[in-house]
Each structure stands twice: as structure tokens, then as C-alpha cells.
């Protein structure tokens, strides 16, 4: 059983969902889907102030996008590498697209996503002697990890810093906005009505993406076409993103508690990292939701594959498959001591495809219901459609659970304790008790 949607470069293969998920079960959720869809689109849902991503082609004006592309082209011509400083949604979406599509993804490097002295020191060594542009991304400008990285690494822009540092931040206020005005840095806007994990199609993601030469207009067009389809019908049997959201909900209600996103294409590794943030941060509230995990196949079939096949039956699996677009690479003849004679002349992509088909079937036989999201190819257009597919599915899925899919109050918990431990003014007295470390001596 598969669903093809002619207007999108996306198809769903749901053969291995049955008997856990059937079309009848999907159709039975239609009243709930109609309710949450109406709430989302009317601006009456929880967190409605952060639904500016819904109209993908309107997140940025045409003039702002033109300025962004011009800046990206200038920086690309004047420098060797772009250092993106940000954390979470401020960098993961861009990295997902760049790693999947860029001819040379190494033109962009990243900092501010950790506080590792070793990482930053090695990055400085890596960039020594190169012409470096910097895009620092933070709505407030005070998020600890990127703020530290910017202090430590901004000298890499050299004497041309004024023209090589670009900030993406709040339109009117905040530390970065003030710094941009003071130093004369070019600035782009983090939209007020778009949360970080939904922001890849705003200036947050588009500037680094455009720096690598990826066609951001085509990316936006793919997202816009997916948005149009999803706005046309809320019937999950006709809307791929809603089908996916409902299937996850059905399995969750049956007691499945972990969703694994699996791909057989290494270029999609960071797409899975972005997906984990999107669903984990959006749904993981009030002691609910599927836990989002990811694996890279066939690599992880030789490690995590054992657990998936025979471990606790708490897993559902979503395969992300690219249908076309792999280069021709045939397996040559040999002396057959490796027992590969039967594959002589076969395309590597053919073998990879059969590995996927075998895995989906074996995991279903082992008690892991799974579905496949099949992309026609890896192009800016299809990637834009996929990004929006996951964003709208996540919003609908979270609203079906009854949580606010657009806030992240739990993210603040560690920050408050960390600020107290670091002695940040204003955080001297907190309800959280600071425990002295207790070591066991061996």
C-alpha cells in the first residue's frame, strides 16, 4: 500500500504499517484532525504566536531575500569559508540542507553549538590562514553557547570584520542588534512569529545555505507547494504530512514510545538531527510523546540493527528514502574470493535499495511497524517540500497530543542551574538545590 501525491516530489510507502495502522484507523482520526487543523490555521491553537512559518513563501519579503542572496554571493566571492555561530534551530536547519545539497559542504563550518575548548581550539587551527566570514545567529544575542563562541572566534574575520561579519537577530532589540548598529555589521531578522526549529526557511537558514550556492528560491518554492497542498485538504488520506502525523499518533496510542528515523543516504544525517530537534522540542512535554531517535543505515544495521530487530517492542520506524539522483557506480569483476561474483556489473545504488527493502521487511517481521517517506530526488525543491512536510506534520502531531508544539520551557531548566553555578548576577538564589559531587572511589 502506497500513497503518491502528484503535486509533490514525496510519496509514502505504508506497506509495513499494517496491521498496526490501517486506512480505517487513519480515517477514524479525521474529526480530531479537522479540529486541530482549524485551530492551527485560525490562530487559535496553543502557541499561535509562533506560526509564521505556515506560509513558507511569506516568511521573508522578496526584497529581503534578494538582499540576502546578494550578501551571500558577496561573502562567497570574498572569503574561503563561512563560520556559522548558533545553536539548535539557529544552525541545524541550515546544516541539514547544506550537508544534503551543497557541492562543497566544507565551505561552511560551525561553532556555538557546544562549549568545548578543544573543539574551538581545533577550529581556530583549521581556519588559520583562511579568509573567514562569520554569520552569528541568535535572537537575543545572549544565549550562552553562541555568545561565548562569538567572543572567542570573532577575530577570525580579521581586519575586514566590518564587512565579513553578518548578524541574524531580533529586528529591533537585543545584544546582537545593538552590536550590529554600533559596529556597522549587516543584519538580517529572526522573525518574531517563527521559533528557531521552524526557522530554516527564514534568514536564519537561508544565508548560510545561499553562501554555498544552493538555489534558495527553489527551496522556498518546494516548501510553498507543499504548504499549498496541505492547506487544500485536511484529509490524511489525501495529505501526506497529515497521514504521517496521524500514523504516529495511532502507534503512540498503542504503546509505541520511540520513533527511529532511518536513512540509507549519509548526506541526510543532519536532516535527521534537525528532525530530532523539531519533534523532540515540540512534543516532549507533559510526560508525553514519541522519543525521536535516528540511525544511519546500513552502518547502524551492524550495531543498533540488533536492538531494532530483537529488542523491546517499543519502536516504530520511519525510513527516509531517495528514489533517484545517485551516481552510476558499478561493482567491477574480481576473483570472487569475496563471494561477490553474483553482484558483478550491478549498480551500487541497486544494492543499497535492496538493503533498504530487506530492512523494512525484516523489521516489520520482527514487530517494528514502519513507513517510508520517499523523495523523488535530493534537490533544493524536494528538500524544501520535505522541510515543510515535517514542520506541518510536527505541528499537527503536537496539537493532536494536546501540547503546545511551539514553546520549549524545559530547555530553560539547565540554564537556570548553570547560571547559578557560574555565578551569573540575578541567579544566586534558586529553588533548585545545588548538590556537591559525591564520588565512589575504586
Please list, in sequence order, all residues whose beta carbon lies within 8 angstroms of the beta carbon of residue 179, skipping any fewer than 6 positions away: 141, 167, 185
pLDDT by 10-residue block (mean), the chain, 442 residues: 66 96 95 96 93 94 96 97 95 97 97 96 96 95 92 95 95 92 94 94 97 97 96 94 97 97 97 98 95 97 97 97 89 90 93 96 97 95 97 97 90 79 73 72 81
Is 302 marked active-site? Answer: yes
Residues 140, 112, 68, 198, Cα dihedral to 10°:
-70
Q: Which residue has the cell 541568535?
A: 138
Backbone φ and ψ for 434, nearest 5 degrees, come out as -85, 120
Predicted pLDDT at 336 = 87
Exposed e or buried b per residue across 88-122, where buried means at least 16 C-beta atoms within 10 angstroms of its C-beta: bbbbbbbbbbbbbbbeebebbbbbbbeeeeeebee
Q: pTM for this one?
A: 0.94
Residue in 281, 283, 317, 391 annotated catalytic: 281
pLDDT of res. 442: 82
Q: What confidence score (pLDDT) does residue 5 get?
A: 54
Residue 438, exposed/middle/buried by CB under 10 A (0-12, 13-18, 19+)? exposed
The CA distance from 271 to 251, in Å, is 23
pLDDT of residue 439: 84
Q: Alpha-carbon distance 4 to 23, whole Å?
A: 15
CATH architecture assigned to 54-214: 3-Layer(aba) Sandwich (3.40)
Question: Would you kindly state where each structural domain of the chain is located, as residue ranges?
Answer: 2-44+219-401, 54-214
pLDDT of residue 4: 52
Catalytic residue among 172, 302, 429, 435: 302
Please choose, from the candidates 256, 318, 231, 243, the residue with its C-alpha nearest in 3D space to the C-alpha of residue 25: 243
CATH of domain 2-44+219-401: 3.40.50.10490
Amino acid at each position: 500500500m502506497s500513497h503518491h501525491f502528484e503535486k509533490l516530489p514525496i510519496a509514502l510507502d505504508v506497506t509495513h504499517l499494517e496491521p498496526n495502522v490501517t486506512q480505517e484507523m487513519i480515517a477514524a482520526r479525521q474529526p480530531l484532525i479537522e479540529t486541530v487543523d482549524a485551530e492551527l490555521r485560525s490562530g487559535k491553537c496553543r502557541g499561535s504566536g509562533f506560526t509564521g512559518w505556515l506560509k513558507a513563501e511569506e516568511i521573508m519579503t522578496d526584497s529581503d531575500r534578494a538582499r540576502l542572496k546578494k550578501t551571500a554571493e558577496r561573502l562567497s566571492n570574498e572569503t574561503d569559508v563561512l563560520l556559522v555561530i548558533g545553536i539548535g534551530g539557529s544552525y541545524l536547519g541550515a546544516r541539514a540542507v547544506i550537508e544534503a545539497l551543497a557541492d562543497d559542504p566544507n565551505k561552511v563550518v560551525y561553532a556555538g553549538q557546544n562549549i568545548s575548548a578543544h573543539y574551538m581550539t581545533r577550529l581556530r587551527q583549521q581556519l588559520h590562514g583562511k579568509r573567514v566570514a562569520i554569520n552569528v545567529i541568535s535572537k537575543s544575542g545572549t544565549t550562552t553557547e553562541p555568545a561565548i563562541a562569538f567572543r572567542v572566534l570573532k577575530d577570525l574575520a580579521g581586519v575586514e570584520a566590518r564587512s565579513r561579519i553578518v548578524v541574524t537577530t531580533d529586528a529591533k532589540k537585543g545584544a546582537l542588534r545593538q552590536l550590529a548598529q554600533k559596529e556597522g555589521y549587516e543584519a538580517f531578522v529572526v522573525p518574531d512569529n517563527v521559533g528557531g526549529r521552524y526557522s530554516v526557511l527564514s534568514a536564519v537558514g537561508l544565508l548560510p545555505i545561499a553562501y554555498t550556492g544552493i538555489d534558495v528560491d527553489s527551496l522556498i518554492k518546494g516548501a510553498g507547494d507543499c504548504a499549498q497542498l496541505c492547506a487544500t485538504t485536511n484529509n490524511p488520506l489525501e495529505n501526506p504530512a497529515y497521514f504521517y502525523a496521524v500514523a504516529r499518533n495511532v502507534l503512540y496510542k498503542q504503546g509505541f514510545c520511540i520513533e527511529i528515523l532511518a536513512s540509507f543516504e549519509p548526506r541526510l544525517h543532519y536532516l535527521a538531527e534537525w528532525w530530532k530537534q523539531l519533534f523532540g522540542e515540540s512534543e516532549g512535554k507533559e510526560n508525553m510523546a514519541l522519543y525521536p531517535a535516528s540511525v544511519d543505515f546500513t552502518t547502524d544495521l551492524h550495531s543498533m540493527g540488533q536492538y531494532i530487530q530483537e529488542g523491546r517492542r517499543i519502536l516504530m520506524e520511519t525510513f527516509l528514502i531517495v528514489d533517484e539522483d545517485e551516481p552510476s557506480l558499478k561493482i567491477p569483476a574480481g576473483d570472487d574470493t569475496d563471494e561477490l561474483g553474483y553482484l558483478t556489473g550491478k549498480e551500487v545504488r541497486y544494492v543499497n535499495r535492496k538493503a533498504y527493502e530487506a530492512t523494512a521487511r525484516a523489521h516489520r517481521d520482527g514487530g517494528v511497524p514502519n513507513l517510508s517517506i520517499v523523495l523523488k530526488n535530493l534537490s533544493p525543491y524536494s528538500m524544501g517540500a520535505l522541510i515543510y512536510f515535517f514542520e506541518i506534520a510536527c505541528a499537527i502531531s503536537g496539537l493532536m497530543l494536546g501540547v503546545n508544539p511551539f514553546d520549549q520551557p524545559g530547555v530553560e531548566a539547565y540554564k537556570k542551574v548553570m547560571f547559578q553555578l557560574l555565578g551569573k548576577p540575578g541567579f544566586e538564589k534558586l529553588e533548585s538545590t545545588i548538590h556537591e559531587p559525591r564520588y565512589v572511589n575504586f
